[in-house]
Each structure stands twice: as C-alpha cells, then as structure tokens.
Amino acid sequence: MKSIVLIYLLSLGAFSSFLFQNKTKKESIKAGSEIYQDFCLQCHLSSGIGVSGVFPPLKASDYLLENTNLSIAGIKYGLKGKIIVNSEEYNGVMVRQGLDDEEVADVMNYILNEWGNQTTAFITPNQVSKIPKSLVE
Amino acid sequence: MKQIKIYFLAFVLLSSLSCAQENTPAIETPETVDYTHTTIVEGIDIPWGMDFINENELLVTELSGKLYRVTKGVKTVITGLPEIYLRGQGGLLDVALHPDFKNNNLIYLTLSATLDGDPGGNTALYKAKLVGNTLKNLNLLYKATPNTKKGQHFGSRIAFDGKGHLYFSVGDRGNRDENPQDISRDGGKIYRLNLDGSIPEDNPFVSSSKAKQAIFSYGHRNPQGMTVHPTTSAIWVNEHGPQGGDEINKVESGKNFGWPIITYGINYSGTTITDKTSDPTMEQPFYYWVPSIAPSGMAFSTSDVYKGWKNNLFVGSLKFEYLERLVIKGNKVVKREKILDKIGRVRNVKQGPDGYLYLGVEGKGIIKIMPL
C-alpha cells in the first residue's frame, strides 16, 4: 500500500511538473533569442558588443556576468544613471521594455549564454518575480 | 601588365561599389562654435515629444507615460491621460497643440494603446482639451490595428500643413513583410486627417473600399521625425532605416516610399533585405544616411537667432548623440554638420515661438541652444 501511495505521489509530481511545464534552459534561450531580436538588438547589436560609451556591451560584460540580479532588475524595471562596464563608464537610460517575468528570464538566459558568454545559472520566471525594484533605484 | 592593371582597377571599383558606402556629403565638425546650450528643464528621462504654449511654457511627453507642463523650468504633471501600453519602443509619444490652441485649448497625442482586440498594442491618436492641468473630452481619433506584442516601430510624430490637415506617422510595427506595402493594413504609413479627425475628401485612397482611407503615403519603416516645410507647406519626415539607410522623405499624396522592397540599408545581422535601392514605381528618399544616425525629431530653423542657420534642417541623432545641421541647396543636401557633439541621445528638436532651437535629450531633459 505504501508503495502504491508513493508511486501515486511520484507520478502526480511528474505529471504536474509536465502540466506546469517550465521551459528547459535550451528552450528558454531560444525564446530569449527572439525577445532579443525584438527589443534589445537595436542598441546592443546582434554581436552583443553595444556601442562604446553609449550602449554597454553584453558580450564578455563584467557587469552582466557578475551581477545577475542587478541585470535582471535593469531589464525588468529599466535602468538609468552611471554604471561601469568593463572599466568604461555609461550614463544612459534603458527604458523598461514591458516584458513579463518569463520573457525577462528567457532573454537573460540568452544573453548569459550567447557570444561566448557562459554560465551555469538558469534564470527562472520565479526568480525574476522576486527581484525588487529597489535594486535599481 | 596593362591587363593586370585594368583587372586590378576593375576589382577595386567593383568592391568599393558592392559594400555600403558612406553617403555624401560627409559630416563635419563646425570650424567655429558660436553657440552654447542651457538646460531649461531636467529630470525627464525620455523627452519624446514637445510643443510650445508660449515663449515661457511648453508641453513635454515622457515615453514612460507622463505629460508635463513646463513653466519657466518648473514641471507639473498633467492628469487624465488615456491608458498607455508600455512595451518596447512604445509609450507616450508625440504631443502637438491644435493650430488654434489659443482659442480652443485642444491638443493631440500619439501613444501606444491596447483598447480592444488582441493582446499587445498599436499606435493611437487622441485629441483632448487641456483644462488647467487635466485633459478633458478625450477623443480617440485613430487607432492602428491589429495589436501586436512586437516591441518595434510605433512611429510616431504629428505635424500640421497649415491648410486644415493633421499628419501623423505609424511605423511598421515589426511586420515589414505585411504592413508597409499593403494599404488595407495599418503600419508603415503617414496618415492625414482633418483637425476634427474626419477623413479629408481628397485623401488618395478614399475611393478604395479596402484601403485605410486615412493613409496619405506608404512604404515607410519607422518615421520619428516630421515637420512642415516653412515655405512649401510640404510634410517632411525622417525615418529609421534598418542598419544603414535612414531616410528623409518629402511625403506626397498616394506615393510609395518603398520599404521593404527598396532600401539602402541591411539587416542588423548583416544580411541583406533586398538588393534593390530603386524602383520606377517607388519614391527615392530626399536624402539617406549610410551609416545610420538613428534620426529622431526634425525642425527647420526659420529665425535669425543663429548666424547662418536660417532655413537649415535640424535632425536629432540618437546613435551618435548630436544634433545634425543639414544645409539644403536646390533639391540637395550640400553640407552636414555636428552640433553639440556628445550631448546625449537627441530624441527631439523643435523651434520655439522665440525662434530658438530646443532639444529633447535622453537622460537630461530639454536643452535650448543659445547663440554666443
């Protein structure tokens, strides 16, 4: 009996995780690539190198790769004022793009794993939902 | 040997023709700088649109959805705005006073909105009465359809021809294959309305039942600068091309400006969109920028405030962070100059009732150019 309950619970768990399917990292990166084409590329460029002094780079960007939560907050709420990226100062405005938490997670996974960027982290919508605005205020 | 030389010359010629060349005249740095600038209002992140009530007072839109009345440098929020769909390049866009604002207090706004229909948004034009610091009698004059969650190319600028018409632009909304060339669809168009929002009887497509009858011209990509020529009353626009190929166009009734069938630009990824830069059925731009400057805002200087700038055209560069001065002779741009280089992303430029030029600069606010 115990084992039946256990099997039941396990299969319920497996089934619900299937139902409330969270994307795999690969799927998230793919979706993020589309978001990137749509919302980010005009400034940060398809190569992710940005424009020196105007739009910060995402490729090999210390700011992005070392401050995951701050980067999420920047995308989620918008970012303005002085930041230092790879020893260069940027003092611009990135407006809030109106992306939902899942879209923010997807585009984060894309930029964290494109142009030679690599990370073991996997950003989830749940993680994005918990990032407070105070980080970028 | 001679033959080798010829081959070599032919090779050089061909290879220089085949890559996107910088368009002439080359941009210059002014030899003498006999002007400076002063900030007249701060703390407006993306000052997208502006219009002047009088010499001391103006309305300024902030992309994030705020409309300000700025009186001698002090800003007051105006309430009663319609709901705005904030996504990507969308938000609160242009503001323009009715030509008879002094008597009727009417203003026009363009913004991105959802209203009815699918999730997402598209560009809308509203008319409203400014009573104190509140908008009353909100009146939706036009709403482009369908809604889409795409983040790009809402346009939008508003201009008047002085003959009872309002013009406004809507970009291609990130759907270049369907919108700009199809007059039964919105997007990638310049629209022309009477001041009350009705459709002028002499609009080019009024007799076509399938067409959007407010359309004046089509085949545009993302026009974010628009002004009326001071003597001809023609409507001039500038529009963002893809990488390379930003354009100035003099719009004309019923004309097709070619996007995306012809363009001087290429995809952001570096791949080509089309190998055609001209077509007998489509209009050539008055001027095009290679490389792109990301033009936004547009104004003629018609005053004697600045030395040698009268009748020059001014365009903001978002990408290179300067104001571009274009000297036009006959039907040609003969000189281009960087004004206030590195000032910041210039989103907008207008001439005030005092004849001075005012810029909307991202991250800064409104800046006035002062002759020395």
User: Tens of pLDDT along B180-212?
Assistant: 999 999 999 999 999 999 999 999 999 999 999
Enumerate the domain spans of chain B. Answer: 29-371
Q: Which pair of tokens denotes residue A120?
A: 């073991």
Question: Is B153 considered catalytic here?
Answer: yes
State how far residue A137 is from chain B, nearest Cα, in angstroms: 14
Enumerate the domain spans of chain A. Answer: 23-136
Chain A within 8 Å of B43 (Cβ-Cβ)? Answer: no
- CA-closest candidate to residue B163, choices B216, B110, B250, B234: B234
Crossing angle for the helix pair A68-77 and A101-111, to the nearest 10 degrees: 130
Crossing angle for the helix pair A25-39 and A101-111, to the nearest 10 degrees: 100
Whether B257 contacts B33, CB under 8 Å = no
Do the interacting molecules here have an ipTM over 0.90? no
Q: Is the dihedral of CA B367, B50, B353, B161 positive or negative?
A: positive
Q: Which pair of tokens denotes residue B140?
A: 């939706």
Question: Which of B98, B153, B220, B240 does the annotation list as catalytic?
Answer: B153
Chain B within 8 Å of A49 (Cβ-Cβ)? Answer: no
Whether residues B321 and A42 touch (CB distance < 8 A) is answered with no
**Residues in chain A within 8 Å Cβ distance of B319:** 51, 54
Other residues' Cβ atoms within 10 Å of the Cβ of residue B242: 22
Reduce the secondary structure of chain B to three states and give it as a string.
CHHHHHHHHHHHHHHHHHCCCCCCCCEECCCCCCEEEEEEEECCCCEEEEEEEECCEEEEEECCCEEEEEECCEEEEEECCCCCCCCCCCCEEEEEECCCHHHHCEEEEEEEECCCCCCCEEEEEEEEEEECCEEEEEEEEEECCCCECCCCCCCCCEEECCCCEEEEEECCCCCCCCCCCCCCCCCCEEEEEECCCCCCCCCCCCCCCCCCCCEEEECCCCEEEEEECCCCCCEEEEECCCECCEEEEECCCCCECCCCCCCCCECCCCCCCCCCCCCCCCCCCCEEECCCCCEEEEEECCCCCCCCCCCCEEEEECCCCEEEEEEEECCEEEEEEEECCCCCCEEEEEECCCCCEEEEECCCEEEEEEEC
Q: How many Å from the N-terminal Cα to the C-terminal Cα in chain B?
A: 60
| CA gap B77, B372 in Å, rounded | 33
The closest CB to that of A80, out of B86, B152, B363, belongs to B363
How high is the pLDDT of residue A92?
87
Q: Could you report the per-residue pLDDT of A59-95, keeping only the tens digit for each?
A: 999 999 999 999 999 999 999 999 999 999 999 889 9
Name residue B216's beta-bridge partners: none
**Residue in B closest to A98 by C-alpha:** B87
Whether residues A92 and B270 touch (CB distance < 8 A) is answered with no
Using the structure block, give the residue that is written with the tokens 């963002």: B240
- Phi, psi at residue A12, to the nearest 5°? -60, -45
Chain A within 8 Å of B271 (Cβ-Cβ)? Answer: no
Q: Which pair of tokens denotes residue B188?
A: 């990638």
State how far residue B364 is from chain A, nearest Cα, in angstroms: 9
Class of the A23-136 domain?
mainly alpha
Q: Which pair of tokens denotes residue B232?
A: 């001809």
Whether residues B45 and A95 touch (CB distance < 8 A) is answered with yes
Q: Is the dihedral of CA B197, B70, B315, B241 positive or negative?
A: negative
Chain B within 8 Å of A38 (Cβ-Cβ)? Answer: yes
How high is the pLDDT of residue B14?
43
Q: Could you report the per-residue pLDDT of A41-68, keeping only the tens digit for each?
A: 988 999 999 999 889 999 999 999 999 9
Top residue of B224, B268, B347, B364 to mutate, by most chain A CBs within 10 Å, is B268
How high is the pLDDT of residue A3?
67
- CA-closest candidate to residue B239, choices B226, B253, B255: B226
Whether A95 contacts A119, CB under 8 Å = no
**Which residues does chain B have with pLDDT short of 70?**
1-21
Whether B220 contacts B259, CB under 8 Å = yes
DSSP element (H, E) containing A96? none
| CA gap B290, B293 in Å, rounded | 8
- Phi, psi at residue B15, to the nearest 5°? -70, -30
| CA gap B298, B316 in Å, rounded | 7
| CA gap B10, B24 in Å, rounded | 22
Q: Which pair of tokens denotes residue A5?
A: 């309950």
pTM of this prediction?
0.89
The closest CB to that of A93, out of B46, B268, B321, belongs to B46
**Residue in A closest to B321 by C-alpha:** A54
| CA gap B63, B81 in Å, rounded | 13
Other residues' Cβ atoms within 10 Å of the Cβ of residue A34: 13
Q: Could you report the per-residue pLDDT of A95-125, keeping only the tens digit for each?
A: 999 999 999 999 999 999 999 999 998 999 9
Class of the B29-371 domain?
mainly beta
- CA-closest candidate to residue A28, choices A81, A105, A82: A105
How high is the pLDDT of residue A137?
85
Whether residues A95 and B151 touch (CB distance < 8 A) is answered with no
| CA gap B180, B153 in Å, rounded | 11
HSE-CB of B28 using CA atoms within 13 angstroms: 13
Whether residues A97 and B269 touch (CB distance < 8 A) is answered with no
State how far residue B319 is from chain A, nearest Cα, in angstroms: 8
State how far residue A13 is from chain B, nearest Cα, in angstroms: 32
